[in-house]
Structure 1
């Protein structure tokens, strides 16, 4: 790890922390690896919208094609399931079995805190049991499921009833939802029925923390909790301490890490990257300044919590992008947050043209539109 004479080897400045993190996120160099292996390394991809995971893998993997991920979904080797922070993630079926038990406490707590008023006078366990019975018969769209539940509980909002099922039962959203180029309403199936095997009976929080550090480290305990939605993880990290190394950031906060994880140093080159909408790279730490400034976090904030695609220049968020696709044409619109050099613009254009080709499935006409700050 590169250091300066004034910086102790166990202290990472913001750039060194950024480069270590980008290395874990497969964002310094595109990798040649199968999509399912990338999903497992990244501990899934955030997927409350259907198609961001495809862009998330495109920006990280060499020669990634949408059909590979779509095939994992239709082949039941990957699933869309509520996990970390209660958001839908696209994970392998193997990880669904492991991860859902880990985040169950958060989902239960979130249900009670978010829907306390709407659940007044209701026994959530009975709603969950009724939901299980319905889903054991066949998958249901969210609309059909809540309509059936409201015949028994007509005085309670549909959103509260559907979230009881979502939080208390291990449900997955099944295809065609999330399949590239297709549409479909969110349709629930029981995870064990869809993937053909039961979930783990116990939560392995040690493994969860170690995998987080491999994909998102170095990190504080607060970072791990912000990503997972879980609390009281310090006991887990203390138990794991003999297997970890202790570093510090510029503010003196302890950063935990795996001994052999990559920490390439502040001088490692970071190429232009177009991150997917909702990319976990900018959403998975209590302190996100390792990749996005507080000012730019405000620039991408929206009232409805939609997170746009973002652009990394020299490793840090410096703009946002979105796809504008019609029946006859595809455009990628880029909004920069600050001026860029000629070299950076050239990289932006080159990478943007690659993104445009991917987003359009190779169809013309295509247009890359870059708006300066």
Structure 2
């Protein structure tokens, strides 16, 4: 819990504080923007909800796109290129069956990526409907409302050519960041970042979190790990030891702390992890998930004093 910054080590306000959180954690799950924002809140003391949007949309020190596991993440701008350099090609390969089901051949995908980037460079932030209309008019897909639209947008993102812009729009990376991404990554550097934020853990945990093949993940972890622990017969490694955190923290949905491992679901109440890919807002105390809470009315179902957290949630919301 302390390694994952839930002792709230970041005390900088503004977009700089948001970028610091994202950098320290190696990225935050962001298919739910609200979940990503609350993840920042849980790891900092002075950032606000508005700061999270400012970091991504105005300051552009954080980038929202498809990174670890091919899911939407909020990552530090300097990490975007190295992550896609390591993961992009494998994630595209892992999606090949779905591309086939949608009729998206390699040539269609390549032309779609070119046309999407050209449009975004010329017209700026664009909605899904606008990009769908472009792809239909180009004869690359037959109708604008199917899953092929998103698949082609995501494919172009995995190439490092587009990312999220303001709200639910997409932009050309080259225009948005002022330069193209350099797609070169070091698996050992990523393993060190992972173990710093999620250790103690295993090589399979690192592979699950990142999307790297297990053999590559194991080689990288073996090269950088400096500390070994044995927990219930399983060897876990880290790049250091920390005293731990005994505090209570309220986490948003899909929080990175609960998604950073191969198999820790046995520690999660079914109220948090009901299945179907959902991971609800959680209350964590001394490292363990002990209950849930609701964004809508801030009701809490957990055996813990959350008064300080509720007060800080109000501060964060402004």
TM over 0.5: yes
Partner in structure 2 of residue 368 of structure 1: none
Q: Is the contact made by 1:136 and 1:190 (CA closer than 8 Å) also made in structure 2?
A: yes
Residue among 171, 175, 198 paired with 1:216 = 198
What CA deviation, in whole Å up to 9, does each residue of 1:314-338 have, x standing for no partner?
32111111221xxxxxx312123xx
Q: What secondary structure is seen at the aligned counterpart in 2 of 1:90? A: strand
Distance 1:113 1:62 in 2: 44
Q: Normalising by the residue count of structure 1, what TM-score does the alignment of the two structures yield?
A: 0.74
CA shift for structure 1 position 278: 1.1
Partner in structure 2 of residue 70 of structure 1: 53
CA shift for structure 1 position 207: 1.2
Distance 1:305 1:240 in 2: 27
Is 2:250 the counterpart of 1:274? yes
Distance 2:130 2:267 in 1: 43
Is 2:301 the counterpart of 1:335? yes
Q: Normalising by the residue count of structure 2, what TM-score does the alignment of the two structures yield?
A: 0.86
Partner in structure 2 of residue 130 of structure 1: 115
Partner in structure 2 of residue 310 of structure 1: 282
Q: Is the contact made by 1:111 and 1:163 (CA closer than 8 Å) also made in structure 2?
A: no
Q: Is the contact made by 2:191 and 2:220 (CA closer than 8 Å) also made in structure 1?
A: no
Deviates more, 1:218-227 or 1:163-172: 163-172
CA shift for structure 1 position 241: 3.3
Q: Is the contact made by 1:332 and 1:356 (CA closer than 8 Å) also made in structure 2?
A: no
Q: Is the contact made by 1:246 and 1:254 (CA closer than 8 Å) also made in structure 2?
A: no
Distance 1:302 1:236 in 2: 29
Is 2:267 the counterpart of 1:293? yes
Distance 2:53 2:220 in 1: 39
Partner in structure 2 of residue 328 of structure 1: none
What CA deviation, in whole Å up to 9, does each residue of 1:179-200 have, x standing for no partner?
xxxxxxx211122221112212
Query: What stretches of structure 1 move > 6 A for 4+ residues in a row?
Result: none
Where do 5+ consecutive residues of structure 1 fail to align? 1-21, 178-185, 325-330, 362-373
Structure possessing the higher radius of gyration over alpha carbons: 1
Distance 1:97 1:279 in 2: 23
Where do 5+ consecutive residues of structure 2 fail to align? none
| 1:219–1:357 CA distance, 2 compared to 1 (3 A) | same
CA shift for structure 1 position 58: 1.4
How many corresponding residue pairs?
Answer: 306
- Backbone CA RMSD of aligned residues: 2.5
